[in-house]
Structure formats: C-alpha cells, structure tokens
Structure 1
C-alpha cells in the first residue's frame, strides 16, 4: 500500500520534525518508537502526562456496557423458584440497569468469549474527540502502521517505523497479543510484569507503586477497548477489570449502560460498550500507539471504532 504521491520518506520525516513539541516531561525508554511518539504527540497538541510528575488531576472514565449476556445472567439471577401458592407474582427480573458493575463486566466476558476470532489484513482504530477531531490508525499483521490525521489530509501516511502495539507501555507484536494468558489472574500478572519491565518513567524518576498500578489498569482497559486481542484474552481482561473493588453501574446511557471504575480516590474511568459485540465505543481516555495516554477534557469523551478490515484508503 503506497502513501500519497510526491511525498518521499524525507518529506514525511521533515514534516514530522517540524511538528515535534519543544519539551516533553514524560520519559520513555531509549529504544521506544521515538519518531512515532513525536508524531502522535504533536497531533494531540497538548502534553498529556501518563504518570505523576506532580500531584495529578484525575478525570472520571465512564464505562457504558449494555450487554446481551446480561440478559442471560438476569434470567438466572432474577427468575427463581417461589414458595406458596401459584398466585404469587414472580419476582422482578434483573436488567442491565439493576445488575452490579462487576456482574456487567462478567457478562461482557461471557459474550466476548463466545465471539469468533477477527479476520482481516489491517487492524483499524478510529478516535473522535468531543470537538470532532479525528485520528485514524491502520496496523498490518507485521506491525507496520499508517495514520490519517487533520495535519496530513485525507490520505494515510506511513509511519517511519514499524509501530506494533503496546500493552502496559510495553512493546508487543500481534502474535504476542494473540498468545496472552486467558485467565484473569495470569493476564493481570503478565501486564504487571510488562509495566515493570517497560522502563517507563515520569519527570521524577521511576514509577511508584501507584503509578505502576495505574498503568496495569490502563493496559487491561486497552485490551478490551483498542487492541486486537482474541476472544479469550478479551474475556480474561473483562474478568480482571471486574475484580477491581469500585466498579459502579451508572444505569442506561446512550448506547449502553454506564459503569464507573474507581482505581484511586482521585482516578475514575468510564467507557461505552456495544451490547452485542462488547466493543468499547466511548471512553474518557485512549492509549496511544507508543504507550502514552490521551485523556479527554473535563466532561468530554472519545468515540472509538475498532475492527479488522481489508482496506487501506488510497
């Protein structure tokens, strides 16, 4: 797939160099995708730190999950045998609005596990912010990446480097994602080790325990929201997220049922999950291809589209 005519590698690299922000306080390992980081972060035009360089301002993240599997749970939990005469009315059935937050995520795990593996040539991610700004990414199965952003017009531009994917700020290939553990405890342990080995730092030095826990959490969320994880891995990630202590069902919202996940007193997350596919359609944060974070502004969110496709726009 060729990028736009009359744009040589030198032209693209020169344009990327002009877009590099002057100072970035977040440090990544020296072997990270430096050019890719500069490219993506310049598109954001704001310095979004991923770790605590100073006392952080936490933003809520809404997880919306209208899930078909919840109906199955409701049938089991809400329809029970009753004593007494046959005139007694049946107890009310539970719906996605009355299920607990963890039960909604466990229902998502059940649905995800039953879905087929995706097929296609490119893994496609589209993000649209509240103000309508759009970024699109295509990744082939070897990790090569293309981007379409407001800066580069309608045609996708090839990344100067093979970007691959990141989990917990750690470089991974598609094959590694396919081979991730399929039990929640083992998957969380894998992501924890990935964060510890990633070398990610903030301006104050290595991450503290809270910083590492935060990136493990983001890594698990990215496995259900952005990455081409196979069904059993997505199911394990949903189960691992359900095990967090503060998962709250916020009731029906546009496109699903709201969940709020509180990691710390000052860190909350929200998502919107498709009822039939369990795909996350909206989030208050996304993990960038090089491992950084883009956080939605106060009261905002980011619309997400992820799928396998055979088409790379010309």
Structure 2
C-alpha cells in the first residue's frame, strides 16, 4: 500500500509540473528556415514517419527544431544532391544515471567557468557550425526517397533583444523569397535591402520563448536546474513524441545554436541530467569528424546524441543515429542528422564575425 501511495503521489507531483502552455506563433520566415524540424506532411506516397513535428531546429529558435533536422524537401526546389548515408559507431558506455550526471556536470562546470560577457540589446549572437540533414524527397509522380546531405557550413546571427533583423548564411541554400502580400509586393515590412553575401534576413523576434529565444530571454531563465526543468516540461507540454524526449530535444536546441550566459548554460546541462532515459556513450563523432563522449536519448528507433570533447567537456555538436532495424530512415548506424559547433560569439552587427 505504501508503494502504491508513493507512486500515486509522484504521479500527481509530475502532473503538476506539466500545465498546458500558451506557445506563441513563430514568424513565417522562421518556419521556412527551420525546415528540418517542421516536417511538412506529404501524402502522395508512403514515407518515413516524421521525427519532429515542430521546432526550428537549426535556427536556434529558430533553427531550431528539436534537435537535428530531418527535412522534407520537394524535388523541384530545396536540398542538393543526396549523399550516401554515413554510418555511426559507438557502444553504450553506461546507462546508469551516475555516468550521465558525471558527463553533464563536467560540461556544466566548464560552462560556468567562462567569463560572463556584457551583451547589449543592439548586439547579435553569432554561431558558426557544420550541419547535415536527412529528408524525404517527393516528386510530382508520387515517388519518394530518403536523402542524406553532406555536412555544410552555416552561420547564424540573432538579435540579442529580438528587435533587429537577424541573418542566416548557409552553404548550398539560396535566399528564400518572401511570400507575396496581397498578390503584389513580396517584401516584408521593414525588411532591409537584399544582402549581397547570399544571406537571408530573419524577422525580428518580438515574442521569444524556449522554442524561439533571444539572448535576453535566455538570460532571464532560472539557474536552478530543477526549476529550469519544470519550466521546460511546462512550456513544451503536448509537443514532440513524449515529454522526456521533447525536453531533451528542446535543451539540445538551446545548447547547439544559441549563446547564453554561463550560469544558464550550466543549468541547462544539469537540468538535462534529470531527464529519465538519458544514457552515456563512450564514443560519438560530430559533423566535423571530432570524436568525443556523449549523452543520448533513444526514441522512435533513433538515438539523439550530444557530443562533448573527451578532455575539456566542451560541447562539440549533436548527432542522430538509427538504432533499430526496420526503420524507414535507414539501417542501424545510419546518421540522419549531425552538427558541429565551430564558433560562437557576440558581435555588433548582423553579418559581422567575431575577432579571433
């Protein structure tokens, strides 16, 4: 009876942490750019089941998507030529919570040891990375196939206070024209002149949240890990495939393509260590070929990995690997998404790069 009573009480406490959220709508351009995590429906032919159904994965809020991007692209416009699917190796090191806690606590200590940078509202966060997406290509004839991109460079500038236009420059992708307004003008109100460097303008982010944050929003997050995790569960309720998977993916998006105050980054790592089902891996490889240790969560036959330098515990990148047979995305070991963070910083203008 005591065990049953304790279980009921724990369920009640968990339920209290997951009230329904009111998630703001994201601007149209952010949805287009975060193609991977939006997974638009294609009904002409059978296809692999979408892994993530909302976020802008690679825009950090935006690119944000929940983790690595699995893109759905139409054959008449989008991804480049498909590449052979890469294979991954990496046996579980230890699925005990203590192993995960050790890795993530080391990462948290590294994060909080960094000096806090004064960031003003008019500045921009900058993240440079390598990314690769897997997706489904559908032709007009109703034929679909899984495609695998090769890693390519991506640079992202986001307004620290959300009031300025950001910029995305990604190799192999041309700027996306704005949708016509009233059948006439294709411009967006206040949009700057087209860029000469191939970059896409990103609309100001006036309604930031966990799925689309600004630096100022991140700076206001709680730094107590338990409080922060409650917030993540609360604001992502009903999204993703399970609450735990969505919490893991949401935190991963914030780690991959955002710049946050050191105390907040440390709290994100320690919050993730409290998510049930997270395991540790002895070896994983990011999109640039760097090896490291990883923490991971398996769901839907795919393992999402956060990769850390084996010595310094700096965050290197993220990877998604098929682990079950019969998966529509490929055989076990197929890498369906990967990234590698190459640089971060704060700059004074969109398009400006940090000084080395």
Normalising by structure 2, what TM-score?
A: 0.51
Evaluate the alpha carbon distance shift between residue 115 and residue 264 of structure 1 in structure 2; reply closer, same or farther with a 3 A threshold: same
Query: How many residues end up aligned between the 2 structures?
Result: 224
CA RMSD in angstroms comes to 4.0
1:32 pairs with one of 26, 35, 39: 26
Corresponding residue of 1:176: 217
User: Which consecutive residues of structure 1, in runs of 5 or more, have no partner in the other structure?
Assistant: 1-27, 53-58, 65-98, 197-206, 286-294
1:151 & 1:257 partners in 2: Cα distance? Answer: 29
Q: CA deviation at 1:159?
A: 2.1
1:43 & 1:270 partners in 2: Cα distance? Answer: 16
User: Which consecutive residues of structure 2, in runs of 5 or more, have no partner in the other structure?
Assistant: 1-21, 42-49, 55-69, 71-87, 91-97, 133-149, 176-195, 321-328
Q: Could you report, residue by residue, the CA deviation over 1:164-187 in whole angstroms, capped at 9, with x for unpaired residues?
A: 796543x43321210100011100
Normalising by structure 1, what TM-score?
A: 0.57
Q: Is 1:283 aligned to 2:325, yes or no?
A: no
Q: Secondary structure at the match of 1:172?
A: coil
Q: CA deviation at 1:270?
A: 0.9
Q: CA deviation at 1:227?
A: 1.9
Matches within 5 A, 1:68-83: none
Q: Is 1:304 aligned to 2:341, yes or no?
A: yes
Evaluate the alpha carbon distance shift between residue 278 and residue 138 of structure 1 in structure 2; reply closer, same or farther with a 3 A threshold: farther
Q: Is 1:187 aligned to 2:228, yes or no?
A: yes
Corresponding residue of 2:264: 233
Q: Is 1:123 aligned to 2:125, yes or no?
A: yes
Structure 1 stretches of 4+ with a deviation exceeding 6 A read: 42-47
2:153 pairs with one of 134, 137, 145: 134
User: Structure 1 residues 219-228 or 264-273, which shifts more?
Assistant: 264-273
Q: Is 1:106 aligned to 2:135, yes or no?
A: no
Specify which structure has the higher proportion of helix. Answer: 1
User: Structure 1 residues 41-50 or 304-313, which shifts more?
Assistant: 41-50
1:216 pairs with one of 240, 247, 256: 247
Contact 1:244 1:263 in 2 (8 A): no
Q: Secondary structure at the match of 2:236?
A: helix
Corresponding residue of 1:157: 199
